[in-house]
Amino acid sequence: MIENDLILRAARGISTERTPVWLMRQAGRILKEYREVRAGVGGFKELVENPEMAAEVTVQPVDILGVDAAIIFSDILVVPEAMGLPYEIKESVGPYFRKTISSSSDVIKLNVPNPEDKLHYVKEAIEITKGRLQNRVPLIGFAGAPWTIFSYMIEGGGSKTFSKARKMLYQNPTLSHQLLEKITQTTILYLKMQIKAGADMVQIFDSWAGILPKNQYETFGLKYIKEICDEINEVPVTVFAKGAWNTLDLQGNLSCNTIGIDWMVSADLARTLVGPDKTIQGNLDPCLLYAEDEVLVSETKKMLSSFGSRRHIANLGHGVYPDTNPEKVKLFINTVKDFKN
């Protein structure tokens, strides 16, 4: 039994004594302890692939910040690498793929790998983390949504527009669906491996959902998220489609437990669009963590009041920014914990 199971209960719609809270990117550069570990292994990708060290930085936010869940330290781009498309992290640039997908032959060459083989280091990191957590809080596993992974595989890295990826949807929709389906099947196997290794819930991150119009996102985004949600029934599932507030009504039909929202949509609108049968996660503006203490506390309380006491998991509307003061993060977390509806 997990001592603090607030997040699991909230995700399932079971009443909780208070609103649970965690942060996307909580294990990262905001903590000097993380920076020290990362410096010892050489870099971000090296840290991801080192199970012992990945487990260490996964647990750090639980011990230092007091969050109600840990999330395994990894990267969404381990999936395309496992499929046969390796990536690297360039300092001050971000992810970079030397080879990209541009033709049918490229897609044919990609594998739907056995994650126990290609992604064994994630499995090992989860197993080690579970031992170190000692059932204090749940452990969240995760993967990137197929559309976001597709975007990187076509584009070769980050982009303001992802115009190459979007062009592929218009010029070769058949090939696009073939690639998205391969990514989807890989992701299902990967998440099931994480659950088998000990993940207590999982989250699907669709970082670039908001760059597609609603009809396209339904066809090339949510279609494949639905496939994943329909196959994962062992643990609660969260879907976070950043920027895609105009599809919240469609997201409400997914067979997941929780819908994550960014800070651009109000709680009232999200509840109306998603419906009463889903938990909502979010959605404080990450930049509020730069504000004066009294402003941060006031805005956090406003957010909590707007969601009410039922079916809410407190989080930011996106990942915490790397130059954020950890004391501000602690203040946000403690404000949530002390709040009474």
d(CA 248, CA 241): 9
Q: Exposed (0-12), middle (13-18) or buried (19+): which is 177, by Cβ within 10 Å?
A: middle
> In 3D, which of 55, 49, 57 has the Cα closest to residue 32?
57
Distances (CA, A) of 16 to 70, 165, 303, 312, 341: 18, 42, 17, 10, 12
Phi, psi of 112 (to 5 degrees): -100, 90
d(CA 149, CA 78): 10
d(CA 135, CA 59): 12
Residue 321, sorted as left (phi over 0), alpha (psi -120 to 50) or beta, turns out to be beta
> In 3D, which of 212, 310, 211, 319 has the Cα closest to residue 263?
319
What is the largest distance, in Å, between two alpha-carbon atoms of the chain? 58
Residues marked as catalytic: 25, 29, 38, 75, 152
C-alpha angle 38-41-42 in degrees, rounded to nearest 5: 85
> In 3D, which of 275, 276, 228, 286 has the Cα closest to residue 256?
228
